[in-house]
Amino acid sequence: MELRPVEVSDNSRQKLRDLKAQLSFLPRADGSCALEQGTTVIWCGINGPGNVSSSKRLSERLVIDILYKHAHGLKNSVKINRLLGAALKHSVDHVHYPRVVLNVTLHLLQEGGCEAAAALNAACLAALDLGIIMNGMFCGITVATSQGNLILDPICPQCCSADAVYTFAFYSSGKESTKTVACDTDGTFEYGTFEAARTLAKQASADIFLFYREILQRKLSVDI
């Protein structure tokens, strides 16, 4: 299934790259997703909730263990762990899963830009495939600024030459409007530019969430 690009009025590129996703493709994972976001390719597998060692166990909450694998080691692992940890904290119903662990493994197969955002999107689809109780969904959107222009979902060369790059994690549920739950920035910028980038990213997040629903409707053949 492919995501149709969304266009927003501005003087720069304002469309998401094509998204393709396959669920339940890893036989040893309880929930999994293979995601292509443009030329970025990432896999996510989730196992659990399962037993956790006493040293890590939390009596009232779920423990989330995130591992991000890259061809060149653990590149960007701190950024992705922070963004994904915040997104999962807002989305997963921790109260239902005390004293257990959720193991999330991400493997970046091909770099094409916006790897952190793609990791968030793959992880959410894998969590939905798993069927764990969630209060809502989350997604990742990256926006770059270059010479005063906003670039939505930039490719690698655009990220490298940009004045600033912003990656946002958004949370959405039926009970409240979409909100920002985490953000990572790289470069120098003014607050007004940051807000313009966040507004553009929030608008684009609606199409990501619609893409999730279409994927699940096709998988489950029910209206969610």
Tens of pLDDT, residue by residue over 134-177, are: 999 999 999 999 998 999 999 999 999 999 999 999 999 977 78
Band of pLDDT at residue 221, cut at 50, 70 and 90: confident
Residue 95 has pLDDT above 70, yes or no: yes
Sorted by where each begins, the domain ranges of the chain are 19-220
CA dihedral 180, 37, 120, 201 (to 10 degrees): 0
Task: Work out the percent of the chain whose per-residue pLDDT is above 90.
Answer: 69
Asked whether the predicted pLDDT for residue 223 surpasses 60, the reply is: no
CB atoms within 10 A of CB 71: 10
- Convert the pLDDT of each residue in 79-92 to its tens digit: 899 999 999 999 99
| pLDDT surpassing 60 at residue 6 | no
Which residue, chain included where needed, has tokens 């209206």? Answer: 223
Regarding beta strands 176-187 and 164-173, do their DSSP bridges make them parallel or antiparallel, or are they unpaired?
A: antiparallel
- pLDDT of 54 > 70? The answer is no
Give yes or no for residue 72 having a pLDDT over 80.
Answer: no
Supply the pLDDT for residue 78: 87
In this predicted structure, what is the pLDDT of residue 8? 36
Query: Is 60 exceeded by the pLDDT of residue 57?
Result: yes
Confidence of residue 13 (pLDDT cuts 50, 70, 90): low
Tell me the per-residue pLDDT of 107-128, one tens digit each, with 9 for 90 and over.
999 999 999 999 999 999 999 9
What gap in Å lies between CA 109 and CA 115, rounded to an integer? 10
Pick the CATH number of 19-220 from 3.30.230.70, 1.20.58.1610, 3.40.50.10490, 3.40.50.300: 3.30.230.70
Read off the pLDDT of each residue in 52-61 and give the average, rounded to a whole number.
Answer: 68
Which range, 17-21, 69-73, 97-101, is most confident?
17-21
- pLDDT given for residue 220 in this prediction: 81
pLDDT for residue 51 is more than 50: yes
Q: In the structure encoding, which two tokens stand for residue 220, read together? A: 């489950």
Contact of 136 with 173, CB cutoff 8 Å:
yes
Q: Is residue 11 scored above 60 in pLDDT?
A: no
pLDDT mean across residues, the chain: 88
